[in-house]
Structure formats: C-alpha cells, structure tokens
Amino acid sequence: MSKEAELAEVHAGFPSPAEDFMDVALDLNKELVKNPSSTFFARVKGVSMIDDGVGDGDMLIIDKSAEPWDGCLAVCYVDGEFTLKRYVNKGDYALLMPANKAYKPIRVDADNQFAVWGVVKYLIKKM
C-alpha cells in the first residue's frame, strides 16, 4: 500500500458517508470573503470577549465595508488604539461592551477619536 493510500484511509470511529466527497475542494476565501478589497484578517490578543467565545489567539475575518449595527462584534478605533467589543449605539454616544466581567464598558462620545473600523464576519478558532 502506498503512503498516499495509508493517509487517505485513516478512520477514527464509524466510516463517514462524506468520504464520497473527499475530492471536493473548499476555498475558504471564496466562502468567507465577500468583499476582498475591504476584508482583513486579525488575531485576537486578550480575553475581554471570552464569554462570547472569542479567545486569545483566535482569528477574525473583518469587513470594513459592512455597516455596524447595534450589538455587532466590531473592531473599533478609540483614541489611538484598536479594541474588539460589542458595539451599542446610544444616539449621542456609544458603548463598547466587553464579554468578560473583569472588564468595564467603554463609553465613547464626541470627545473621543472614535470609529467602527470594521465588523467581524467570521471567527476562526484553533481547537
């Protein structure tokens, strides 16, 4: 048996009916990137969003062309720094909400240099 055949025939449990489709190629850029010129990848650093399932080292796919909506997960630029939070629009101000009780919400208003830099479209986790 060739090495290729040995690698292709490794099972861990019951055989899968999906084996018939093993030759189908999956292009993650085609599947996950709808606006290539405005899509960016970033790696998460920190644990402020851990209760939303976003951990240190996870990868984000961010679309800068997407309009932010109330409650979206967004990369925001605040006073010279980038942060990942839930964006909550309060009209005259916004709240950037963490998903970890050890962190406080960030209030931003006209006194802050602020922009929603991009909306997170996908989260890629390493298992």
Residues marked as catalytic: 48, 85
63 phi/psi in degrees, rounded to 5: -110, 115
Beta strands in the chain (DSSP E): 39-43, 59-63, 73-78, 81-89, 94-97, 106-108, 114-124
